[in-house]
Amino acid sequence: MSLMAIMNIKIAYKIMAISSITGFTVYSWFLLVSEWKEIVLQLTVLATVGAILGIFACVGLAMAIGSRPSKNIDNIEPESG
């Protein structure tokens, strides 16, 4: 990796850190001080439930359309050795 690429990665990490801290600060203000705290909490719970159910849906879809094993587990003979 070149020095320039490493510098760009470090800058991106700094931007991510500052954005995360800023986002947490803004979220905390909305949740604790703002008059919109109820709707912020409701939207947070809605987004969390939606994300969890979305993950379950992706796993279920992958299992539904995935390929089946080629051998039947009952017919597998133990290896001798």
Which residue, 44, 17, 47, is CA-closest to 28?
44
Label residue 78 by pLDDT band (50, 70, 90): low
For a pLDDT cut of 70, what percent of the chain falls above it? 84
Tokens representing residue 20 in the block: 């995360």
**For residues 40 and 31, is the Cβ–Cβ distance under 8 A?**
yes
Tokens representing residue 53 in the block: 């159910």
Label residue 67 by pLDDT band (50, 70, 90): confident
Strand, helix or coil for residue 20: helix
